[in-house]
Structure 1
Amino acid sequence: MTDILFYHLQNQPLERVLPVLLEKSVERGWKVAVEAASPERVEALDALLWTYDDASFLAHGTDREADAAAQPILITAGPGRANGASVRFLVDGAPLPEDAASYERIVLMFDGNDPDAVDRAREAWKVARAGGHACTYWQQDETGRWSKKA
């Protein structure tokens, strides 16, 4: 059974939240795949992870690079995981992977200010629960802290 975490973004954009969650994943020793909706978005996230903090960066690469298998964080626009990731982040409406059960954890991040994104997340919740996965729902408070709501 895979843990599937639904992160409801309301008070901070993905670009502020994703790097923090990726840092925590790497600190735990997890290999991560981040699936975005398009090759252009992969490029934008690639640039973000090099520049989001002047004091640090997250070692990562994209699935187009020759050393993709060696990357602790791999950004992709498709279902692959050349780096053998045990954790997958889904952003920009990326769907639950068909091989969801092969992951230790999946983190689905969605924009709470976008009604279509909320509807897609609700549908993904139903599919994940029906598949026997352990689902949790996380929401930000006014200070940006996450609290478990379900």
Structure 2
Amino acid sequence: MKRVDFYQLSRDPAERVVPLIARATKNAGERALVVSGDAEQIDRIDKALWEMLPDAFLAHGRAGEPHAARQPLLLSMSCEAENEARFILLADGAWRDEAFAFERAFLIFGESALDGARACWRMLGEREDTPDRHFWLQDGSKWREGP
């Protein structure tokens, strides 16, 4: 893993942030795997990907469905990238060690997962192969890099 981006939510839920990161991932020519252990959150993300950016359609599908391997953006409850994604978005705020197999990870978390995100930041910093880490905070409708 080369980089981990921590996105601390304060205004918007993950469902509003995932499409923005997914669009940037697509524009970078990368595939992504969006992971959440919450099936209802996966449903909300799926809906947001259809509705939030109508002018920039984000082709996507769900793990285990036909053509999952062809999807540039795959929604899943596990870290298995059927689409051979190199980027992983952990939409439920829970770090999974399987993310180390990806080139870049995005940990998207709210207030309730703040302690876990801090522990993850420290854990990554203690590794011999420490990835480049960035911390992002919502500042109104924009994102700014935090301390």
Q: Give the TM-score taking structure 2 as reference length.
A: 0.88
Tell me, yes or no, if the aligned pair for 2:86 and 2:104 is still in contact at 8 Å. Answer: yes
Tell me, yes or no, if the aligned pair for 1:37 and 1:93 is still in contact at 8 Å. Answer: no
Match of 2:145 in 1: 148
Match of 2:42 in 1: 42
Whole-angstrom CA distance in 1 between matches of 2:71 and 2:96: 22
SS at match of 1:98: helix
Tell me, yes or no, if the aligned pair for 2:88 and 2:99 is still in contact at 8 Å. Answer: no
How do residues 106-145 of structure 1 correspond to structure 2 at under 5 angstroms? 106-111=105-110, 114=111, 116-131=112-127, 132-142=130-140, 144-145=141-142
Q: Deviations over 1:30-68 (max 9, x none)?
A: 010000122332222222211223434210001021211
Measured after TM superposition, the shift of residue 105 of structure 1 is 0.9
Whole-angstrom CA distance in 2 between matches of 1:134 and 1:89: 16
Measured after TM superposition, the shift of residue 26 of structure 1 is 0.2
Q: Give the TM-score taking structure 1 as reference length.
A: 0.87
SS at match of 1:140: strand
Q: Deviations over 1:118-148 (max 9, x none)?
A: 0111111122222322211111213x22111
**Equivalent pairs, count:** 145
Q: Deviations over 1:82-116 (max 9, x none)?
A: 1111110001133233351x3221010111xx2x3
% of aligned pairs identical? 32
Distance 1:99 1:106, change over 3 A: closer
Tell me, yes or no, if the aligned pair for 1:35 and 1:94 is still in contact at 8 Å. Answer: no
C-alpha RMSD of the superposition? 1.7
How do residues 1-150 of structure 1 correspond to structure 2 at under 5 angstroms? 1-100=1-100, 102-111=101-110, 114=111, 116-131=112-127, 132-142=130-140, 144-150=141-147
Gaps of 5+ in 1: none
Whole-angstrom CA distance in 1 between matches of 2:88 and 2:54: 26
Whole-angstrom CA distance in 1 between matches of 2:34 and 2:43: 12
